[in-house]
Structure 1
Amino acid sequence: MKITVFGIGYVGLVSGACLAEVGNDILCMDVDSAKISLLEDGGIPIFEPGLKEMVGRNVSAGRLQFTTDVERAVNHGDVQFIAVGTPPDEDGSADLRHVLDVARNIGRLMNSSKIIVNKSTVPVGTAGKIREVISSELMNRGIDFKYSIVSNPEFLKEGAAVDDFMRPDRIIIGADDEQAIGVIRALYEPFQRNHNRIIVMDSKSAELTKYAANAMLATRISFMNELSFLAEAIGADIEMVRQGIGSDPRIGYSFLYSGCGYGGSCFRLFVRLSG
């Protein structure tokens, strides 16, 4: 399958490499020419175990290419993945400029039917905004190509992203177009050979699922951080408390550590420095 990935940050590069690994023809596009040059020279802009080797293997096999040419990128893929950043805006909300810029370019340059798959972390309702932008661009051109919007949130953990993509615990497909759903099902088939991991829902439910998952994990970390303050105040051992509650299968051990905080809708960890 011919696929374009817009954005070669953490999600885009991992997704592009893993999709190429199972035989797809991937073109990754980014406006950062320095990143593209680094990748074409055999380097990678992020560290993720196993990623450099996977990128190199698929570049050598001709299944993975990189470009800064937007028109080439839009014309390449029948499926267009949006995997660009959504940093916090001044009011704390997700900045959708980059997502909508990609949608605008797709509508401005597409010359055939496309399936647009959003993997960026976005607020509920963004799929509708993407649809409106593409529709507006096509109307301005006076043409009417068929296109579908699919919400396909990512659930990658830093340090285990390649394994998470290759062996996912769930694949969320948010769409109402049965043909598009069928194409994305086929695309992910190599990643679910043991049992069906695909959950199909509407786009708003898919977008909310991503935020709900992040919120639940954030709640666990926040709860443990509050408990650690209490443990310190009364002289208890927070690690023993963690083991004591994590042994309950209803609670479990994952994301049950006190320590670093986090920030942003993409749930990135950070350390607050004093001074």
Structure 2
Amino acid sequence: MPSVFRPCIDLHNGAVKQIVGGTLDTSSLRTNFVSEKPSAYYADLYRQNALRGGHVIKLGPGNDDAARSALQAWPKGLQVGGGINESNAQEWLDAGAEKVIVTSYLFPAAKFDEDRLRRLAEQVGKDRLVVDVSCRRRGDKWIVAMDRWQVMTDMEVNAESLALLTQYCSEFLIHAADVEGLCQGIDEALVEKLGEWVTIPTTYAGGARSVTDLSLVERLSHGKVDLTYGSALDIFGGEQVRFDELCEYNRRAEGRA
């Protein structure tokens, strides 16, 4: 399968927003866009265009109602992440999520806890679990970042760590936090490495600024990585990428044109 566009709904303080990832939860928070439309509007838009594999991310507290509203607009059509753990994962699946996305819960005190991941996978099923291995670059390596991308963990993103995580989940979501929201281009080196390392469906987010980034990601990853657009997209106030263009790209790629 070729690389395709995967949509997102980022929620902050109950509103759909686009935020510069590296500034999240800091005193210098930079917001690119705040939507006047509710989360359900975007969920329904994605449903109408058959855009599968989209993710709803709750960036901090105060977003549960907006997340549930999106899931109600497209039951079993969206994934949800942000504060997911053993006590609430099933609740979000029952609320209509296709899959749940987990990050910070796997890293108590910023150290990876395989037992937590194993228990969560046993509870909800590997096929309904996505691991978010969002990361920040440190030299020539990428390190998993948690707590709204502000805390570095003890896990390096590489072939070995992804193989370990693959035992327990059906999909990866990878935000390149250093370029998230900047619209200055994707982390090409990371996408290329992901193409070498991943063996399950993987969505990359961070820096996409042109519809041609889809073919770039496809070439770099050999079609093993899909791409999310945020701040560059016209439905999020951007001027560089048209939503309709991406939908048409997907229709052609998936043989629906």
**Of the two, which has the highest radius of gyration?**
1
Could you say whether these structures have the same fold, taking a TM-score greater than 0.5 normalized by the shorter chain as the test?
A: no
Higher strand proportion (structure 1 or 2): 2
Give the alignment's TM-score, normalised by structure 2.
0.31
Give the alignment's TM-score, normalised by structure 1.
0.30
Higher helix proportion (structure 1 or 2): 1
Higher relative contact order (CA 8 A, sep 6+): 2
